[in-house]
Amino acid sequence: MNKRSIWFYGSLVVLILTIILLVSGSSILTIPLDKNNSIPLGTFITWAGIISFPTAVYTGIKDLRSPLGAFYKYLSYILKGLLILAILWVPICYLLAGNISFSFAEKESFQGGQLAMKWFWRLSYGIGIGSMAIVIIHWVLILVKKKR
């Protein structure tokens, strides 16, 4: 098994485990990592899952790693941008929430308030939706090529 395959399958395993833990609402997600109970394990599990999705897409689709046409080059740039956002997800979300547990309140100020919460959800869902959209576009392009 080559290095790319290890990254691909490793990313898929992390993604699937993260989805299972999040959907089931596992108590593992609430395990505190500090004495103040302010850093939940779920933050880092979710972060690993968010990083693993664009990583799996990038390592799994050769046309995105070595784009031949301009359109795939564009998709590759978008996916790399999503991967960078995924890597920076915790620092960005910390700046939005003002805490590492990413809890928001009814505040007038931006940080930790409702507007910041909207941006938190846009970022969190945007990484996943963007990665999935790239996979779907790739599948459509494969179908179009086969019909020709």
**pLDDT tens series, the chain, 148 aa:** 799 999 999 999 999 999 999 999 999 999 998 888 888 999 999 999 999 999 999 999 999 999 888 999 999 999 999 999 999 999 999 999 999 989 898 888 899 999 999 999 999 999 999 999 999 999 999 999 887 7
Please count the structural domains in the chain.
1
Whole-angstrom distance, CA of residue 94 vs CA of residue 40: 13
Q: Would you say the pTM of this structure is higher than 0.85? A: yes
The amino acid at 45: I
Range of the domain at 9: 3-147
Q: Tokens 């399958």 correspond to what residue?
A: 9
